[in-house]
Structure 1
Amino acid sequence: MKYDKIRGSSIAEMMMQLRSQYGQSVYIIQTREIKQGGLFGSDLLAKKQYEIEYMVSEGDAPYGKAKPQRPAGRTVLERSLPTLSERRGEGGSGVQAGAVRPSTVVAAARSEPEATKSREARRDILSSSASGTGSTSGSTSGSTMETNLNDLDALIDSLKALKTRTVETRPSRDPYQEPVKETPVAPADTVSPILTSPVRPARAPLNDVMEAPTREELEALFRVDAEEEPEPIAVRPTGGERHQDRNPLARIRDRLIENQGSVAFVDRFLQRLERSLSEEDRLHPNRVRSRSIEKMKDMIRVTPVIEREHGERKIVFFVGPNGSGKTTSLAKLAYRYQLEEAPAISLYSLDLHRVAATEQLKTYAAVLQVPFFSPLFESDFREYLDRDGSQLIFVDTSGMGLRNADRRDELVRFIECVKDSVEVHLVLPVSISPSLTEKYLEFFEPTGFEKILLTRLDEADFLANFIEVADKWKRPFSFLNNSPEVSSPLMNAGPEDLARMVLGLNS
């Protein structure tokens, strides 16, 4: 285990820092109020701060959120390559291997007699021109003539293409869809008879004749669009998020889990709630909330009173861990009973380990104008009680940790020496972790505590774990203290108020 301390100006902020860093694995040992920066080592002009002593397992690492990794989207170059590779073929040229050139198709489409005549006429012209020069041999003249014939055929086809102005309509950029061409027919009187050709046959299939890529396709192939971003990944909501808006029971469950209630406690409560709901009630969120408040209220018991018979003498002990607010709660309770019932009240301090706490309670007794006693031994305590004629006696005790079993046993002996009626209140702050809550109940069980007094309700709202342990140990809540200031009175809250606080419906 690792033990450490943290200091700050607010306990709530330090608790949030510890929760975010260690989660539920941190154990709060004690909290205390300290003063720093006093003039000449005194409390004059000293700054009030708070200190939290905690422990955590050495294997627990601080939490961190991993950044989601998004698969990189395909660029324009990658999307264009498969289409163009299919259209260009394996040879690397603009036309597939074995494909027929457009000039060859056009030449084949013309009528055989007309093609034969025009070819023979052009061959005679080129032959006479080649023989007149006398600069080449017969074989060279034949190859040159064949090359010139091919070029002339290509020129004629180009002129016809310009004349007819074939329009290609491309409704989509799907490379597997055959483009549709519309060939407008010019009037007969405007077309030269030399360029006029018979009706062309049907176009060859795409697998036989493939057109060269357009300029736009080539630009898209060699251009990298910097503004293109990969498509965002659509994050599907989790089960709780999908049902949270339409199922109020899921929202109640999430709230109780956030409120540090155990899964077993939350499931047990939801089972009770579901059994009390009809099919009609499930369709109305307001009815579900009202019924959840009723069921949670049935699990909470609050008895904000010190039970005593008329004329009976009552000794009230306040026990709890260090810094839980025992002295402040005792002073507030004494002031309330002095105003409401006006019985004879006395204040006792059994805190033999902190002189400041004894002096603080002595100051409160002077303000309330009530007797104050600070016995050192059990015999002194019995002697003071015998001489004291007060009907209501409040006893403050020293704060204890889970390792102070000797102090607890000493306190038990002080409680057992009292002959009058005794009532023991276990004072716990709501900022304590759920794992330590039940451990403190087990630790102080030998004192015979009958009720639980909650303090520091203004610093945290983790109440589900206290409702759970109080229901498990069959202990009611006595009083609620929401502020460490003595001038602030105790809360007048009942079971319904606590139920609303636990369910997050107190607004």
Structure 2
Amino acid sequence: MDFVKIRGKDLQDCIMQMKMKHGPEAHIYEHRVITEGGLFGTGLLASKMYEIDVGIPEKQNSKDRIEKKLKDLKELIKQKQKPELAIINEDKRYVRTMEAVRPYSERRRRASVSERYEPIVIDEEEMIPPSKPSQVGLSLANVPEIYEKPSILKEIPQIPKRSPNLDKLAMRLQAEGMSESYTQDFIQSLEGHLSSVDVSRYATVCEKAVNLLEDRIQVDFDLFSGTPRGKRKVIFFIGPTGAGKTTTIAKLAAKYSLHMGKKVSLYTTDNYRIAAIDQLKFYADAMGLPFYAAKDVRKLKEAVIRDGSELILVDTAGYSHKNLENIAKLKDFYQAFGEKDYIENILVLSSTVSPSNAKSVAYAYDSLGYKRILLTKLDEAEFLGSMLELADTIHREYAFFSVGQDVPFDILNASKKLLAECVVYPEKLKGIAGEVFDKT
């Protein structure tokens, strides 16, 4: 057995040098910390080094190695038959160290060199390497664990980055009125419907966005929708002042009377704005339709009893969404109608209001129980993202889109595709226009 000294900056450095220079048969018998240098021999500013004593077995020929292995195997069998147990710690499991399987002759030689030798511990059921290798009597067989353990950083899954085109669309939708939470939810859903090739092209991302937004829009543009057979349809158009209720009612009256051949009559309960009454009466006279201005519930009931139409369109006074008491008073007019009437409320909402204002109006009129929204002033709007989000969030359907002041043409049936395209391509709003109704 030959002995050499190895120095390094730390213990692992020394072990690595031992492994590279002398191979796996070399063993550490002693290690210590020493100092080198220093100022004028005082030890000041001296550097610390690690030094180990290494034992190197003498090389043997092939015959000697075979005989030695046979001898070691016999010794190992004896050790298995009569195990020598040692308890490391009462709270820990028994473990078998690498010394337990080292040749008996080799262990005897090592014991003569150092008395501080790690005890032999045997477990017949399993072998578990010690959690921390002993500094004294350290074997190279335990060292590879230090270098073979995978880095923790490699085990952390890498979160894939989202496509720049998706981020670009998300930022634009938020800038155009959609809330951050709704936008991120939609973009996440959109990402799952795109291939790696699709996300690389912004035009394809936008096209797919239109298709997915269509799935989030509900429309119903039949005013008679949901009306039981044999009943007359009565529709109250509710909403704040300036939303465009009066003009919109005139457009729908023309659509259903002149182009669809329905018997339509117009009513107003707005006793606050004389101009609104005159305006609706003007449209009714021009189309030859019955018109009634009801000052109270009693007057309205008298007019309804004499009315023989199949569709009644009621214009209501515009109240601030903050005045919940006046909004609730609109329910009083429902008493004027009987069992043969089927009443529905449609919220008229301007597309030019802010997202927060539109949300406040929608929730304020919710007490009246409306199911559909009529969106006005699309020709004046910049973006429609917040309007799509609002209807999707409160689970309401769109009935019609008003796109100008021209009566009766500037109104369109609500369209999923049109609204989705205007959200993704807001430039389409500049050229939007009504259409001439086909008589059916």
Deviations 1:273-319 (A, max 9, x none): 01111223223333322211111111111212211456531001111
2:319 and 2:183 map into 1 onto residues whose CA distance is 31
Please give the per-residue CA displacement for 1:211-230, whole angstroms capped at 9, x wherever unaligned. Answer: xxxxxxxxxxxxxxxxxxxx
Pick from 230, 233, 246 the counterpart of residue 314 of structure 1. 233
Q: What amino acid is aligned across from residue 319 of structure 2 in structure 1?
A: M
Among 312, 333, 347, the alignment partner of 1:414 is 333
Distance 1:314 1:403, change over 3 A: same
Is the 2:165–2:200 Cα contact (8 Å) retained in structure 1? no
* Cα distance in structure 2, aligned partners of 1:291 and 1:465: 19
Q: Which residue of 2 aligns with 1:250?
A: 167
Q: Distance in 1 between matches of 2:298 and 2:306?
A: 13
Secondary structure of 1:248's match?
helix
Aligned residue identity for 1:292:
A
Cα deviation for residue 405 of structure 1 reads 2.7
Q: Deviations 1:346-405 (Å, cap 9, x if unpaired)?
A: 000100111110111111110110111111121222222122110000000011113433
Q: Which residue of 2 aligns with 1:438?
A: 359
Task: Name the counterpart of 1:452.
Answer: 373
Question: In the alignment, is residue 274 of structure 1 matched against residue 191 of structure 2?
Answer: yes
In the TM superposition, what whole-angstrom CA distance separates every residue of 1:75-125 from its partner, at most 9, and x where no partner exists?
Answer: xxxxxxxxxxxxxxxxxxxxxxxxxxxxxxxxxxxxxxxxxxxxxxxxxxx
Q: Residues 250 and 408 of structure 2 are in contact (CA less than 8 Å); yes or no, is this contact kept in structure 1?
A: no
Shift of 1:254: 2.4
In structure 1, what is the Cα distance between the partners aligned to 2:426 and 2:350? Answer: 21
Number of equivalences: 264
What letter matches 1:348 in structure 2? Y
Name the CA distance, whole Å, in 2 between partners of 1:358 and 1:281: 55
- Does residue 366 (structure 1) correspond to residue 285 (structure 2)? The answer is yes
How far residue 481 of structure 1 moved from its aligned partner, in angstroms, is: 0.3
Whole-Å Cα distance in 2 between the matches of residues 283 and 290 of structure 1? 13
Residues 461 and 501, structure 1, Cα contact 8 Å, conserved in 2: no
Q: Distance in 1 between matches of 2:301 and 2:166?
A: 55
1:502 to 400, 419, 423: 423
Q: Given the alignment of the two structures, is residue 465 of structure 1 paired with residue 382 of structure 2, yes or no?
A: no
2:196 partner amino acid: E
Offset of residue 487 of structure 1: 4.7
Q: Could you tell me which runs of 5 or more consecutive residues in structure 2 were left unpaired when the two chains were aligned.
A: 1-160, 429-440
Q: Please tell me whether the aligned partners of residues 255 and 504 of structure 1 are also in contact (alpha carbons under 8 angstroms).
A: no
The residue identity in structure 2 corresponding to 1:331 is A
Match of 2:405 in 1: 484
1:194-343 paired onto structure 2 within 5 Å: 247-306=164-223, 307=225, 308=227, 311-343=230-262
5 Å matches for 1:344-363?
Answer: 344-363=263-282
Supply the distance in 1 between the matched residues of 2:325 and 2:222 (Cα, whole angstroms). Answer: 31
Cα distance in 1 between the residues matched to 2:387 and 2:406: 23
Residue 322 of structure 2 contacts residue 364 of structure 2 at CA under 8 Å; is this kept in 1?
Answer: no
Counting only pairs closer than 5 Å after superposition, residues 41-190 of structure 1 correspond to structure 2 as none
Distance verdict in 2 for CA 1:383–1:442, change over 3 Å: same
Q: State the distance in 2 between where 1:479 and 1:293 align.
A: 19
What letter is aligned with 2:210?
A: I
**Relative to structure 2, which stretch is displaced further, 429-438 or 408-417?**
408-417
Secondary structure in 2 matching 1:497: helix
Equivalent-residue separation in structure 1 for 2:174 and 2:235 (angstroms):
35
Task: For residue 444 of structure 1, give the secondary structure of its aligned residue in structure 2.
Answer: helix
User: Given the superposition, is the C-alpha separation of residues 304 and 473 from structure 1 closer, same or farther in structure 2, using an over 3 Å criterion?
Assistant: same
**Which string of whole-angstrom CA distances, capped at 9 and with x for unpartnered residues, describes residues 109-142 of structure 1?**
xxxxxxxxxxxxxxxxxxxxxxxxxxxxxxxxxx
1:497 Cα deviation after fit: 0.9
2:220 and 2:414 in contact (8 A); partners too: no
Map of 1:385-400 to 2, 5 A cutoff?
Answer: 385-400=304-319
Q: Displacement, 1:449?
A: 1.2
Instruction: Give the % identical residues.
Output: 34
Among 464, 475, 486, which residue is 2:396 paired with?
475
Decide whether the 8 Å contact of 1:412 with 1:446 is kept in 2.
no
State the match for 1:95 in structure 2: none
Query: What is the match of residue 424 of structure 1?
Result: 345
SS in 1 for 2:252: helix
Q: Secondary structure at the match of 1:458?
A: helix
C-alpha contact (below 8 Å) 2:236/2:344 kept by paired residues: yes
**Deviation at 1:248?**
2.3
* 8 Å Cα contact 1:314/1:393 also seen in 2: yes
Is the 1:497–1:506 contact (alpha carbons within 8 Å) kept by the matching residues of 2? Answer: no
- Residue by residue over 1:408-440, the C-alpha shift from the partner in whole angstroms, topping out at 9 and shown as x without a partner, is 122121135433111211011111111111111
Instruction: Report the CA distance shift for 1:479/1:385 in structure 2 as closer, same or farther (over 3 A).
Output: same
CA distance in 1, matches of 2:191, 2:318: 43
Deviation at 1:506, TM superposition (A): 6.0
Q: Quote the offset at 1:492 in angstroms.
A: 4.1
Larger Rg: 1
Tell me, which stretches of 5 or more residues in structure 1 are unaligned? 1-242
Instruction: Tell me: CA distance 1:369–1:465, structure 2 relative to 1, closer, same or farther (3 Å).
Output: same
Are the counterparts in 2 of residues 500 and 506 from structure 1 also a CA contact under 8 Å? no
Across the aligned residues of Structure 1 and Structure 2, the Cα RMSD in angstroms comes to 2.0
* Residues in 1 aligned to 2:185 and 2:279: alpha-carbon distance in whole angstroms: 44
Partner of 1:66: none
For residue 83 of structure 1, what is the aligned residue in structure 2? none
Residue 380 of structure 1 is matched in structure 2 by: 299
State whether residues 415 and 447 of structure 1, in contact with CA within 8 Å, keep that contact through their aligned partners in structure 2.
Answer: no
Per-residue deviation, residues 4-24 of structure 1 (Å, max 9, x unmatched): xxxxxxxxxxxxxxxxxxxxx
TM-score (structure 2 length as normaliser): 0.57
CA distance in 1 between partners of 2:362 and 2:414 (Å): 23
- Structure 2 CA distance, aligned partners of 1:490 and 1:312? 26
